């Protein structure tokens, strides 16, 4: 759930002194034993990966079966006689390695999505929920994980990791609202911790936003919609330049649905890509972003039913009301990125460096006046400077039976330094009266991986990899007392800690036919420790995920007519240190070991250029395990809170050109349906299932494009997040410790109208060429 929120309890004396959390054992003997046991389990998994009963796959086209073209021109150039159908395996977009899927976004832009983050719903089995405001990062549900706002999902933007370690609002918090959505060209998705380049936070998987603009020219776009929603977008992609050359400004403002949900933002993105030679390419990216947003927080179900909230008495107004108008946040970021690519036959080197500044402030109140009569509003602040580099080298040789064999080396180095704090504010005047924590942090992450992909024959290949990550922490706690039993002292303490994690990973691929492949994978993923949860000299523990997955995938196509890709997978993941949201503490807490097993199905159908359908469904059983459970203990009697059993998603996009009086008019339509199953809550309660339907339409003539979108078409009453815990929002009442349902309402039906001018500099009256690939 909301990673708001200190994600791990402090250890030893700091826990009792400042946080009141249960101390965690840190003896050397226990740490060594745990590390040995984890290594033994990982080696066992890699040993059995070759005979898993069910598979996970990425399909590659065969040399004798060229992939079908998605362009209409291919079909037009074909002979008049109908050729016999040609069926073949579909290819992953080059140069994606095994286990990686590239999802192009152009066909599905017509389906309503207004942020870069919202494109994540194209990932099979992934669902987004957001209970804390327009520019608050969403909670991610994926593969049996409540991944919070990034703690279990690694998020990258053009090679740069975005997850923020030791963020006061949540360890691993990942916010991509600084990326203008029209500039995102594709998503690179890796499910599970199986690819060697996946680093910190990639327990459920990783997603990278790849930026680029296919449609060259000038775009001037305005939007106007429900709840006083307004937007102005100016973007320029010079004709004749590379896709990575662009500049865009995005201004947004909205009153928001219901009470206290207003928001405003300004974003600037710019890129420059230059081909130095046939071998060398450089790219520069710059980002600047500022957002201010209000949050309504959560409401008690009994107060909504009794209509006692300070809003109009109607059911709708009560559901969309708020207790505390001090809730909300601000988010700021500035970042520069440079990438060098060097490619020659058989070798590829890529190096990315970045530096930036980041600030986040969030104010939330989940319990009202339950914990303190002055008020329980939490003010979480995070400000850091960031710098890092990330790269890889991939070489191909023919050392085995003259077949191509691949070797990859990768590395990452990152440093974050700044402050992270959580303060309690008085309800009367907003003044801070207590610091839950107030720390200066410096975190250095160094990681590397080596991987070998061995093709033994046309039908079988093995990929083996080993990854190592190390973290060095320095934390200065500014909440120490000025006097203790020994006498006067300075009110701060500095601690240092170090942790290293080894993560073996492997994949076996078997090709049954040119159109059918099977793949089984096993791997270990790791989530680093929150810096402020560590003691001086401690060997920093990692949360470890041991995962196995196996799947079948097929790819069929008829030349120039249609293409079908489908995938069916089964998976199991064990996490030894699960984090579960505790509303009373307004943060995630260690809940022990967890396990989830499930299945995932997805399919994409393309018919020429006029129809694209993407559908997926996932079923998962997720459990909290007993204290001494092992990785092979799949189930228990206690469900993992907030994780739904099933998710469904359907995206349909269609485009068609018609000619009227010699003028070509392009019409497009989009449909998006998302459904989420019941979510278990603490103490046996359940949050109800719901489904949402979104539609969009676009009409274009020459340089003019007009669009309309409706989200939540049937005006379903739904809740973003649901909790079950005690609270008291009446300042004068005696607090009750009886739990009650709390919910953050989802958005009602909303409409949006878009008007855009798409100008090609070389021919202003013609308009920008269509983006559909």
694-736 pLDDT, tens digit each: 999 999 999 999 999 999 999 999 999 999 999 999 988 888 8
Q: Which residues pair with 434 in a beta bridge?
A: 424
Average the pLDDT over 744-767 and give the result.
86
What is the distance between the alpha carbons of residues 323 and 326, in angstroms, rounded to a whole number?
A: 9
pLDDT confidence of residue 584: 74
Q: Which residues pair with 688 in a beta bridge?
A: none
Question: Does residue 75 surpass a pLDDT of 90?
Answer: no
Q: Mean pLDDT score of the chain, rounded to an integer?
A: 86
E-assigned strands of 126-200? Answer: 127-129, 139-142, 145-146, 153-157, 160-161, 184-191
Q: Report the percentage of the chain scoring pLDDT > 90.
A: 72
Number of Cβ within a 10 Å radius of residue 141: 26
CA distances from 729 to 308, 370, 374 (A): 11, 8, 11
Number of Cβ within a 10 Å radius of residue 274: 13
What is the distance between the alpha carbons of residues 485 and 474, in angstroms, rounded to a whole number?
A: 26
599-608 pLDDT, tens digit each:
999 999 999 8
What is the distance between the alpha carbons of residues 612 and 97, in angstroms, rounded to a whole number?
A: 24
508-522, 579-593, 651-665: segment of lowest average pLDDT = 579-593
What contacts 673, CB < 8 A, 6 or more positions away? Answer: 648, 649, 650, 691, 692, 693, 694
What are the structural domains, with CATH classification, of the chain?
Answer: 12-75+87-563 (2.40.170.20)
pLDDT confidence of residue 29: 43
CA distances from 53 to 41, 50, 437, 518, 552 (A): 19, 9, 49, 10, 11
Average the pLDDT over 583-597 and give the result.
83
Question: Does residue 369 surpass a pLDDT of 90?
Answer: yes
Average the pLDDT over 294-310 and give the result.
95
Residue 400: pLDDT band with limits 50, 70, 90: confident
Rounded to 5°, angle at Cα 620 from 616 and 624: 155
Residue 314 parent element (H or E): none
Is the CB of residue 18 less than 8 Å from the CB of residue 436?
yes
What is the distance between the alpha carbons of residues 216 and 238, in angstroms, rounded to a whole number?
A: 6
Residue 399: pLDDT band with limits 50, 70, 90: confident
pLDDT confidence of residue 38: 47
Residue-by-residue DSSP string for 245-290: -EEEEEEEEE--SSSS--EEEEEEEEEEEEE-SSSEEEEEEEEEEE
Average the pLDDT over 640-664 and give the result.
94
Question: Does residue 681 surpass a pLDDT of 80?
Answer: yes
Residue 580: pLDDT band with limits 50, 70, 90: confident
At residue 502, φ and ψ (nearest 5 deg) are -105, 135
pLDDT confidence of residue 592: 86
Is the CB of residue 25 less than 8 Å from the CB of residue 488?
no
Burial label for 490, CB within 10 Å (0-12, 13-18, 19+), is: exposed
Helix (H, G, I), strand (E, B) or coil at 481: coil
At residue 54, φ and ψ (nearest 5 deg) are -125, 160
What is the distance between the alpha carbons of residues 535 and 203, in angstroms, rounded to a whole number?
A: 25
488-511 pLDDT, tens digit each:
999 999 999 999 999 999 999 999
pLDDT confidence of residue 30: 44
Helix (H, G, I), strand (E, B) or coil at 305: helix
Average the pLDDT over 647-657 and give the result.
96
Is the CB of residue 533 less than 8 Å from the CB of residue 8?
yes
pLDDT confidence of residue 765: 60
Rounded to 5°, angle at Cα 434 from 431 and 440: 105
**Which DSSP letter does residue 714 get?**
T
Average the pLDDT over 425-434 and give the result.
95
149-158, 210-219, 398-407, 601-610: segment of lowest average pLDDT = 398-407
Number of Cβ within a 10 Å radius of residue 660: 8
pLDDT confidence of residue 767: 60
Number of H helices, E strands in the chain: 5, 40
pLDDT confidence of residue 762: 62
pTM, 2 dp = 0.86
Residue 375: pLDDT band with limits 50, 70, 90: very high
Number of Cβ within a 10 Å radius of residue 250: 22
CA distances from 72 to 134, 190, 624, 773 (A): 39, 30, 52, 10
Q: Which residues pair with 335 in a beta bridge?
A: 287, 356
Average the pLDDT over 226-243 and give the result.
96
Classify the phi-psi angles of 133: left when phi > 0, otherwise alpha if psi is within -120 to 50, otherwise beta.
Answer: left
What contacts 30, CB < 8 A, 6 or more positions away? Answer: none
Question: Does residue 71 surpass a pLDDT of 50?
Answer: no
pLDDT confidence of residue 464: 95
* Residue the block writes with tokens 């996009």: 653
Report, in this order, helix, strand and coil percent for the chain, each rounded to 5. Answer: 10, 55, 40
**Cα dihedral 430→431→436→440 (10° resolution):** 110
pLDDT confidence of residue 269: 98
Is the CB of residue 500 less than 8 Å from the CB of residue 491?
no
Residue 51: pLDDT band with limits 50, 70, 90: very low
What is the distance between the alpha carbons of residues 554 and 604, in angstroms, rounded to a whole number?
A: 11
Beta-carbon-side half-sphere exposure of residue 598 (alpha carbons within 13 Å): 25
Is the CB of residue 727 less than 8 Å from the CB of residue 737?
no
Q: Cα 491 vs. chain centroid, distance in angstroms?
A: 38
Using the Cα atoms of residue 724, residue 726, residue 730 and residue 731 in order, give the sign of their dihedral: negative
46-60, 422-436, 533-547, 563-577: segment of lowest average pLDDT = 46-60
What is the distance between the alpha carbons of residues 690 and 20, in angstroms, rounded to a whole number?
A: 37
Range among 92-96, 179-183, 575-579, 632-636 rated most confident? 179-183
pLDDT confidence of residue 631: 64
What contacts 605, CB < 8 A, 6 or more positions away? Answer: 562, 563, 564, 611, 612, 613
Question: Does residue 366 surpass a pLDDT of 80?
Answer: yes
What is the distance between the alpha carbons of residues 708 and 721, in angstroms, rounded to a whole number?
A: 28
Q: Cα 142 vs. chain centroid, distance in angstroms?
A: 9
What is the distance between the alpha carbons of residues 407 and 348, in angstroms, rounded to a whole number?
A: 11
What is the distance between the alpha carbons of residues 116 and 32, in angstroms, rounded to a whole number?
A: 42
């Amino acid at each position: 759930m909301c990673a708001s929120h200190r994600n791990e309890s402090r250890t030893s004396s700091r826990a009792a002194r400042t946080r009141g959390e249960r101390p965690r054992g840190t003896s050397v003997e226990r740490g060594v034993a745990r590390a040995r046991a984890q290594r033994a389990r990982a080696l066992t998994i890699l040993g059995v990966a070759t005979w898993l009963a069910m598979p996970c796959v990425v399909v590659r086209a065969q040399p004798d079966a060229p992939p079908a073209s998605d362009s209409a021109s291919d079909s037009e150039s074909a002979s008049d006689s109908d050729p016999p159908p040609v069926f073949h395996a579909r290819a992953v977009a080059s140069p994606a390695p095994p286990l990686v899927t590239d999802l192009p976004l152009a066909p599905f832009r017509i389906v309503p999505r207004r942020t870069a983050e919202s494109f994540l719903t194209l990932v099979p089995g992934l669902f987004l929920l957001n209970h804390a405001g327009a520019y608050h990062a969403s909670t991610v549900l994926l593969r049996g994980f409540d991944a919070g706002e990034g703690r279990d999902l690694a998020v990258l933007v053009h090679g740069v990791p975005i997850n923020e370690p030791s963020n006061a609002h949540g360890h691993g918090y990942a916010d991509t609202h600084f990326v203008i959505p029209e500039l995102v060209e594709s998503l690179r998705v890796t499910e599970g911790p199986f690819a060697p380049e996946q680093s910190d936070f990639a327990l459920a998987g990783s997603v990278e936003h790849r930026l680029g603009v296919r449609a060259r020219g000038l775009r001037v776009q305005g939007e106007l919609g429900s709840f006083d929603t307004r937007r102005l977008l100016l973007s320029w992609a010079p004709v004749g330049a590379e896709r990575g050359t662009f500049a865009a400004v995005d201004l947004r403002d909205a009153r928001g649905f219901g009470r206290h949900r207003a928001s405003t933002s300004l974003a600037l993105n710019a890129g420059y890509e230059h081909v130095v030679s046939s071998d060398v390419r450089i790219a520069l990216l710059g980002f600047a972003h500022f957002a201010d947003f209000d949050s309504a927080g959560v409401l008690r179900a009994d107060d909504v039913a009794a209509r006692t909230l300070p809003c109009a008495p109607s059911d709708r107004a009560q559901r969309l009301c708020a207790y505390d108008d001090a809730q909300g946040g601000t988010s700021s970021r500035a970042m520069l990125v440079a990438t060098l690519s060097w490619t020659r036959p058989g070798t590829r080197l890529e190096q990315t460096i970045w530096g930036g500044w980041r600030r986040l402030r969030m104010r939330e109140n989940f319990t009202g006046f339950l914990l303190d009569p002055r008020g329980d509003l939490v003010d979480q602040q995070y400000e850091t400077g960031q710098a890092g580099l990330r790269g890889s080298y991939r070489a191909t040789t023919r050392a085995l039976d003259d077949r191509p064999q691949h070797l990859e080396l990768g590395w990452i180095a990152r440093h974050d330094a700044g402050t992270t704090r959580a303060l309690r504010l008085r309800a009367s005047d907003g003044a801070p009266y207590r610091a839950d924590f107030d720390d200066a942090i410096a975190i250095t992450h160094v990681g590397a991986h080596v991987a070998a992909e061995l093709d033994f024959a046309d039908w079988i290949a093995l990929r083996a990899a080993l990854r190592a990550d190390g973290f060095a922490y320095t934390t200065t706690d500014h909440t120490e007392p000025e006097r203790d039993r020994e006498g006067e002292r300075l009110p701060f303490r500095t601690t240092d800690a170090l942790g290293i994690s080894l993560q073996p990973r492997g994949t076996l691929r078997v090709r049954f036919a040119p159109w059918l492949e099977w793949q089984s994978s096993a791997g270990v993923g790791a989530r680093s420790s929150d810096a402020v949860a560590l003691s001086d000299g401690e060997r920093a523990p990692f949360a470890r995920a041991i995962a196995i997955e196996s799947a079948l995938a097929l790819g069929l196509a008829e030349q120039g007519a249609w293409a079908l890709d489908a995938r069916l997978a089964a998976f199991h993941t064990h996490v030894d240190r699960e984090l579960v949201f505790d509303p009373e503490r307004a943060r995630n807490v260690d809940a022990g070991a967890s396990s989830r097993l499930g299945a995932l199905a997805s399919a994409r159908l393309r018919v020429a250029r006029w129809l694209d359908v993407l559908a997926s469904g996932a079923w998962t059983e997720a459990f909290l395990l007993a204290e001494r459970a092992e990785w092979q203990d799949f189930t228990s009697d206690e469900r993992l809170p907030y994780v739904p059993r099933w998710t469904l998603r359907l995206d349909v996009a269609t485009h068609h050109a018609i000619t009227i009086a010699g003028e070509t008019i392009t019409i497009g339509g989009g449909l998006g349906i998302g459904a989420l199953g019941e979510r278990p809550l603490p103490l046996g309660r359940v949050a109800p299932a719901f489904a949402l339907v979104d539609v969009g339409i676009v009409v274009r003539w020459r340089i003019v494009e007009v669009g309309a979108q409706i989200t939540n078409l049937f005006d379903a009453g739904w809740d973003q997040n649901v909790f079950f815990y005690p609270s008291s929002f009446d300042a004068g009442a005696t607090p009750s410790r009886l739990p009650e349902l709390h919910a953050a309402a989802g958005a009602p039906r909303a409409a949006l109208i878009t008007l855009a001018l798409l100008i090609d500099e070389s021919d202003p009256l013609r308009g920008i060429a269509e983006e559909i690939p």
